[in-house]
Amino acid sequence: MSAQVLSPAQLLLKFEDYMHNLSVRVQRNNEESRTLTALRDTLLPKLISGEIRVKDAERFLVNTL
């Protein structure tokens, strides 16, 4: 890979594009984290109490989400 000299405007555009993509990834990761937290908080008490079993958990989620 050869080094490329960019004008300040080109460099700024590349940086903005990179940061935008990074921001989108962070947002998606945060959304996935909230979803996984909600699933955990919903399922864990039911699994511990024996109200549902692991094999029934997927069916339970489909019916409640």
In a domain, 39, yes or no: yes
Distance CA 26, CA 2 (A): 30
- Does the residue 4 lie in any domain? no
- Supply the pLDDT for residue 1: 62
Question: pLDDT digits over 1-17, tens only?
Answer: 677 887 899 999 999 99
Number of domains in the chain: 1
Residue with tokens 């000299």: 5
Owning domain of residue 18? 12-64
The span from the CA of 38 to the CA of 1, in Å, is 45
According to the model, what pLDDT value does residue 3 have? 76
Let me know: does 61 contact 39? Beta carbons within 8 Å. Answer: yes
Rounded-to-integer distance, Cα 42 and Cα 29, Å: 20
Q: Is residue 3 part of a domain?
A: no
pLDDT digits 0-9 by tens, 20-65: 999 999 999 999 999 999 999 998 999 899 998 888 777 877 776 6
Looking at the domain assignment, is residue 60 inside a domain?
yes
Does residue 30 fall inside a structural domain? yes
Q: How much is the pLDDT for 15?
A: 94
